[in-house]
């Protein structure tokens, strides 16, 4: 399970849902667009609920791991719908700069990345 921190609220949801929400937020920001998203969540009393959020270019979302919990519910349809929506933008992939070695030319000692090198 993961917590999505949004404004002054915390949304408890499944790992896949949280990852899809933040990836969709990145796609929206890159396309300078906004959308409302009804996020499947777990309420404070443990019941399933939906939290509606407005996500746009200036949204600041933080996703953090939550304690493992029996309440995790998969929502394959929601995740697929969000990921398919992200594909409607001109760019279809999140940048994931924290996991891409091509952005550093392979080594920290080599200096800045070549500006002529295309980002893949």
pLDDT at 49 over 90: yes
The confidence band for 11, taking pLDDT boundaries of 50, 70 and 90, is very high
Using a pLDDT cut of 90, give the percent of the chain over it: 37
Q: Is the full-model pTM beyond 0.75?
A: no
Dist. CA 106–CA 77, nearest whole Å: 37
> Which of the listed ranges 83-87, 93-97, 98-102 does the model predict with the highest average pLDDT?
83-87
CA torsion 85-2-54-90 (nearest 10°) is -30
Mean pLDDT of the chain: 79
């Amino acid at each position: 399970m993961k917590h999505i921190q949004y404004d002054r609220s915390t949304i408890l949801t499944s790992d896949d849902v949280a990852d899809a929400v933040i990836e969709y937020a990145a796609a929206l920001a890159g396309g300078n667009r906004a959308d409302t998203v009804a996020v499947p969540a777990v309420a404070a009393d443990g019941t399933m609920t939906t939290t509606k959020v407005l996500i746009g270019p200036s949204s600041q979302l933080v996703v953090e791991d939550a304690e493992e919990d029996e309440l995790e519910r998969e929502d394959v349809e929601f995740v697929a719908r969000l990921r398919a929506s992200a594909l409607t933008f001109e760019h279809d992939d999140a940048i994931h700069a924290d996991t891409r070695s091509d952005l550093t030319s392979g080594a920290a000692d080599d200096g800045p990345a070549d500006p002529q090198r295309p980002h893949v």
